[in-house]
Amino acid sequence: MITTNTDKAKQVLENDGIIGFPTETVYGLAGNALSEKAIRSIFQLKNRPLDNPLIVHVSSLDKIDFITENMPNKAHQLADKFWPGPLTLLLKKSDKISDLVTAGQETVAVRIPNHPIALKLLESLDFPLVAPSANPYQSISPTSAKHVADYFENELTLVLDGGFCEKGLESTIVGFEDDDVVIYRLGSIPLEDIEACVGKVKMNTGRDLKSPGMAKKHYSPKTPLIVTKNIEEVLQRLDNRKRSIVCFDQLPNVQEMENTIFYSFHGDLDFAASRLYSLLHELDDQNLDILIFEEFPNIGLGKTINDRIKRASELK
């Protein structure tokens, strides 16, 4: 099931099938963006509501015109700077893109991934690929081929192996309203880098749920998770439950170690971003009672990580 053979992947896709698809952010569940059958299969596999639109992936800028119209200047600036890369742009869709992909919206989400195998596969196809993250609705995104195979062992015939995802967090989603640049999802490109390119941005509040990736509960492990600025205080409050304590940098100075797995990202934000989801997958397999995460510094990728762990901490 797990293979590095892009020809086999191509064959499945040309027959309206779905594959596990490596990118630099997270793995996707990919299918032909022009095939209604493939699109419907993806929604079904993920158990994802049809009102939650899909991202379209292409291999180069010259293929963007086929699926979009009227790309604003600021979108061009961002594309020039960050593509191929973990940037998704919300652009006016062309009539080639069905309402099923965009959940009836006028905009389509587009990105050029920066991953050699993803690009090689996309270049070999004469259609774009839709690919949401390859996890069941609301659970942790996969950052290895094995994560995908574990989630969909009975449903997928092929997962294309591109190794561990270098970035480890989803793309940053950016839309355009009049002259404003609007962030719909924090992601692998820090907010500061987007603003250095196009000036001050606005945040989409998610109130209208235009981008359900901003839904409050999301990215969740099965184990309850809490986020705190003060680990010692939480430890005093909680009894001897089996737990993991995950810190950005210094581990807390506590005596009692029983029932506790300690983990530190050694103060390295890039490392923390690339490792976060695989750590959540591992900890979720340990049958712990609770995961205690120290809040990250609220800068750069720390903002994206705080966003994800806070959503993961929402009660089910």
**C-beta atoms surrounding 247 within 10 Å:** 18
84/113 with CB nearer ligand TXA:
113
Stretch of residues binding Mg ion (CB under 5 A), selected from 133-141, 175-183, 226-234, 283-291: 133-141
Type of residue at 248: F
Q: Who's near 45: CB < 8 A, 6+ residues apart?
A: 18, 29, 152, 155, 156
Nearest to 148, CA basis, from 132, 137, 163, 159: 159
The nearest distance, CB 156 to ligand TXA, in angstroms, is 15
133 binds ligand TXA (CB under 6 A): yes
The nearest distance, CB 162 to ligand TXA, in angstroms, is 11
Window 42 to 81, contacts with ligand TXA (CB under 6 A): 52-55
133 binds Mg ion (CB under 5 A): yes
Nearest-angstrom CA–CA distance, 247 and 264:
5
105's contact among Mg ion, ligand TXA, none, with CB below 5 to 8 A by partner kind, is: ligand TXA
213 binds ligand TXA (CB under 6 A): yes
Residue ranges of E strands in the chain:
2-3, 19-21, 28-32, 55-57, 68-69, 87-93, 107-111, 129-130, 159-160, 172-177, 180-185, 202-203, 225-228, 243-247, 260-264, 290-294
17/113 with CB nearer ligand TXA:
113
18/292 with CB nearer ligand TXA:
18
- Say if strands 55-57 and 129-130 run parallel, antiparallel, or are unpaired: antiparallel
The nearest distance, CB 46 to ligand TXA, in angstroms, is 8
211 binds Mg ion (CB under 5 A): no
Binding site for ligand TXA (CB under 6 A): 23, 25-26, 28, 52-55, 86, 88, 90, 102, 105, 107-109, 111, 113, 131-133, 170-171, 173, 184, 210-213
Binding site for Mg ion (CB under 5 A): 133
